[in-house]
Amino acid sequence: MYKTIHQYYLYILTNQKNGTLYIGVTNNLERRMFEHKNKLIDGFTKEYGLDKLVYFEVFQYVNDAIKREKNMKKWKRQWKIDLIEQKNSKWDDLSADWSCLIE
């Protein structure tokens, strides 16, 4: 019998370089980005136009992803910016080329 391996994602969205930041957790990053890009989720991300994926991490266990999210939300803004720029210095939208994200 095979065990299903689940993946969970912590992700950071923005509207522009050095713009407003949003940190979230999901079990399906492509679906979640589709929802953000098409403004299907009411709330903070829709209100501020946060639909550019600039950073994400992958976790095997949801509790680890949630723990990381809660921890990062307490960080100073500059620490979050530094984390993004270590992996994505141009603040490119990492989901821009995903074929499922049809606008």
pLDDT tens digits along 44-55: 999 999 999 999
| 87 — pLDDT class (breaks 50, 70, 90) | very high
pLDDT at 5: 72
Tokens 């391996």 correspond to: 5
Q: What is the mean pLDDT of residues 2-22?
A: 90
pTM over cut 0.85: yes
pLDDT reading at 4 higher than 80: no
State the Cα–Cα distance between residues 35 and 59, nearest whole angstrom: 21
pLDDT of residue 44: 95
pLDDT of 102 over the 60 cut: no
Q: Which residue has the higher pLDDT, 11 or 98?
A: 11
Largest Cα separation within the chain, whole Å, is: 47
8-87: CATH topology is GIY-YIG endonuclease (3.40.1440)
- Provide the residue type at 23 as one letter: I
Do the Cβ atoms of 7 and 27 come closer than 8 Å? yes
Using DSSP's 3-state secondary structure scheme, residue 17 falls into: coil
